[in-house]
Amino acid sequence: MTTGALVLALAALAIGIVIGRLSAPKVDRAPLDPERPAKLAAQMSTEDRLAAATCLKQGRSAEAVKEIRQRTGLGLKESKAVADHLKANDPASGIG
């Protein structure tokens, strides 16, 4: 490979990386509203809350987050916040 071809290939690679970065979706890194987990937990059905609370009672926090995500369609960040809220504040779960 000649030097010119190598330079051209590297330039094309760099342009591709820049275009990929510019077109990638932006990730929301904003802090979660402190009241949102409580609101989301209140909107969950009793069955969904009890499923998550059961996991939390057994010390399976990751499983509780997974249950919340599957049952509500929330993202990881919000599901974790809801699980933390349930663990700390939910009198119905008997774990707070």
Model pLDDT for residues 36-54, shown as the tens digit of each residue: 999 999 999 999 999 999 9
- Which has more pLDDT, 64 or 7? 64
pLDDT at 77: 92
Closest CA to 41 of 84, 95, 94: 84
- Which has more pLDDT, 67 or 26? 67
Task: Give the Å distances, CA to CA, from 89 to 4, 24, 26, 86.
Answer: 65, 38, 32, 5
pLDDT at 96: 46
Query: What mean pLDDT value characterizes the chain?
Result: 85
Q: Model confidence at 79, in pLDDT bands (50, 70, 90)? A: very high
Place of tokens 């949102």: 36
Q: What is the DSSP letter of 77?
A: H
Query: Residue 50 CA to chain centroid, in angstroms?
Result: 21
pLDDT at 12: 86
How many other CB atoms are found less than 10 A from the CB of residue 4? 8
